[in-house]
Structure 1
Amino acid sequence: MWNVGYTYFHTGIIRRGGFAMQSVRSSFYQPLDSKSCHVLANALGDTPETVISVHLLRRGLCRAYVAGEPSRFDGAIVQDNFCPAEPMGFGSDPEVLWDLLKSVEGWECVNVASECATDLGEIIEENMGVRVRYYGDVYHILSKPVLNFQNEAVRQLTLDDLNLLESAPTEVQGAGFGSIRNLLSDGVVACAVISGKIVAIAHTSARTNHHADIGVFTLEEWRGRGFATAATAIVAKRVQEAGQTPVWSTGEDNFASLRVAHKLGFTEVLRRTYVIPN
Structure 2
Amino acid sequence: MKKLLLLCFALALFAAEPFVSAKWLKEHLNDKNLILIDVSKPKLYKKEHISGAINAPIELWRQKIEHYALLRSPKEIEKVMRRLGITPNSKVVLYSHRWGKDFLKTSYIAFAMEVMGFANSSILDGGLDAYCKIGDLTNKPSAAKLSNYKATFHPEFIVDKTTVLAHIGKTRMLDARNPIFYFGAAKQKVLQRTGHIPKATSYFWVFSFENEKIKDTNTLKAMLIDGLGLDPKKDVITYCTGGLETSMNWYVLHRLLGFQKARLYDASMKEWANEPDTPLTKYRWE
Shorter-chain TM band: under 0.3
When normalised by structure 2's length, the TM-score is 0.25
When normalised by structure 1's length, the TM-score is 0.26
Task: Identify the structure with the greater strand proportion.
Answer: 1
